[in-house]
Chain A
Amino acid sequence: MINAIGRDIPEFVEGFGPVKKYLGAFNSLPEGNCYGPPIKRAAVGQSKLYHSLEDLFKSLKIESGMTFSFHHHLRNGDELVNQVLYTASRLGLKNITVSLTAAFATHAPMIEYIKNGLVTSLRTSGVYGGLALALSRGILPTPVLLHSHGGRPRSLRSGELKVDVAFIAAPSADDRGNITGVIGKSACGSLGYAFPDADYATHVVAVTDNLVPYPLIPASIGQNKVDHVVLIDSLGDPQGIVSGTTRITKDPVGLHIADTAAKVIEASGLLKNGFSFQTGAGGASLAAAHFVGQMMRAQNIKGGFALGGITGYMVDLLEEGLFGNLFDVQSFDLESVKSIARNPNHLEVSSDLYANPFNSGCLVNDLDVVILGATEIDVDFNVNVITGSDGVLMGAAGGHPDTAAGAKMTVIVTTLLRSRLPIVVDKVITATTPGETVDVLVTEYGLAVNPARADLRDRFVAAGLPVKDIQELKNLAHKMAGVPQTIAFDGPIIGLVEYRDGTIIDVVRAPNL
């Protein structure tokens, strides 16, 4: 069947079930009631503490066929997923569904656990490294479900994703299950992606390598939601968890794009008191934030909130008073981790509050501007951030579709070519974010505006910005690089791209590797 952006998707996928067709960014509505986990009880004097994962597995009777969940705040430093799967494998478990909010190079051991039948299903916002390549080759018996950061809490609320055991990496915990990510040798800052798991999982397990005296205050997730605490030697490698300092790009092309993006924001009319903003941690996105900060300073504008993955750069803007609040679902660097502890207006928020389209109001709905990247963008403004130009899994949807849907203006920043490959194409290989939610494309050769936003186009032209037609940008890329040979994607389906509302916006087919 053909969905609302013209993608051919199957009506039924083996190992997944019937497919809900994407109908447009705002056209599918929620139905039914929220899923609820069992009602729980902790008896007076009952210990929650375990000293090994194996003890926990035996005590909880964790068995084959269950669903385990994990969050990715430890990023490429995470060792918890590997330790849990190792334990499950040693105990002979099979047929486990893994819900991991994003998978990194450090998670490559999962390849072996897929091969030995332990892991048979995976839900994630995206995959990097060796696991991505293996999944692209089709090693998983069922297609990997690729969701957005807002789509995941939606599926927990609806019960489409039922978690038997949530393993929450807790950089610090007490023995009653109060946990935080702000302190400890494995400190990662916000635990926002794990909050919904603590609300919906049958067993909520905090795994820590830093047990502190009771009570841990302030806790990110409280003892009323955590069923078990496991103390292990190490959650992972601090070097891979947070980067020291995130810096803005020095690349002149990146700076030029960032400068244009900032001028676009100024010309949009959205840059005024109360301005709300999200940008990624990529060099060009951060540079755009730098230029926006300069404009706010010069024009004495006081912003409302900044949202998202938070960097030290945004902390600087907060502490300077240029923004009133930071909402932090993921802390990218050491400065942002420290800031949560020091700044009461730097708030750790759940992915549900951040971006779930089916709750009573998520933060992305009040974004004025979001700046996002792309691995490809097509002439209908559909964006791919999941696969490379060769169709291999290489990135994450993250909050891309969510913020694009919520923000008053969504700006995509990218170079026109990347290693010869045109980034502006006729049709993206994998649609992640639908064009109807994308407003402006900024490249080093000019910008293009979604035809649905003639209002913005008029403002940019009036401001003297280099506005072009998106076809013109595509043709310019072809003129410089030549027209690429088309690659056929007719292999089996290895991935399903779930839009934030739970419909399927696209499929990923195995590339010819």
Chain B
Amino acid sequence: MKSVVKPAQAGTLESNDIMIIVEPGANGIVLELESIVKKQYGQAISQTIIETVKSYGLTDLNVKAIDKGALDYAIRARLVTALSRAGLGPGSEG
């Protein structure tokens, strides 16, 4: 069982960006995804988010993502920042 200690968020609702909110969880990795390109890229976005979360060794996390057409690198960057702000890794003080 590994999660974050506090909620945090990163990103914006601008076009081509994604807003990601992470919260401590207890029921595995639970992703709630809204995306303007969900039909075309929903699976790809979910996969990017879940793989990135797992790369931290996390087993429990609530993730809410509101996507406005972000590319993969932007999704990863926003998620890494949110996790960092939630107490994981560098920048956690922010």
Contact = CB atoms under 8 A, between A and B. Distances in A.
Given A419-B15, A419-B36, A420-B16, A484 B71 contact: no
Contact of B39 (A390, A417, A480, A481): A390
Interface in A446-489: 480-482, 484-485, 487
Contacts of A485: 39-43
A7 to B, nearest CB: 21
- Report which residue of A418, A420, A421 has the largest number of chain B beta carbons within 10 angstroms of its beta carbon: A420
A319 B68 CA distance: 42
A389 interface: yes
Contact of A481 (B42, B43, B71): B71
A421 B39 CA distance: 11
Interface in A315-367: none
**Is the interface on chain B under 10, 10 to 19, 20 to 34, or 35 or more residues?**
10 to 19
A417 B41 CA distance: 13
Interface residues of A, number: 13
B40 A484 contact: yes
A482 B39 contact: no
B44 A419 contact: no
Contacts of A390: 39
B72 interface: yes
B44 to A, nearest CB: 5
A485 B43 CA distance: 8
Interface string A164-204: 00000000000000000000000000000000000000000
B43 A420 contact: no
A417 B74 CA distance: 15
Contacts of B68: 419
Interface string B20-45: 00000000000000001101111110
Contacts of A480: 71
A480 B68 CA distance: 16
Nearest to B40: A484
A66 B54 CA distance: 64
Interface of B: 15-16, 36-37, 39-44, 68-72
Given A480-B71, A481-B71, A484-B41, 18 more contacts: A389-B37, A418-B69, A419-B15, A419-B36, A419-B68, A419-B69, A420-B16, A420-B40, A420-B70, A421-B40, A421-B69, A481-B41, A482-B41, A482-B44, A482-B72, A485-B40, A485-B41, A487-B40
15 contacts: A389-B37, A390-B39, A419-B15, A419-B36, A419-B37, A420-B37, A421-B37, A480-B71, A481-B41, A482-B44, A484-B40, A485-B39, A485-B41, A485-B43, A487-B39
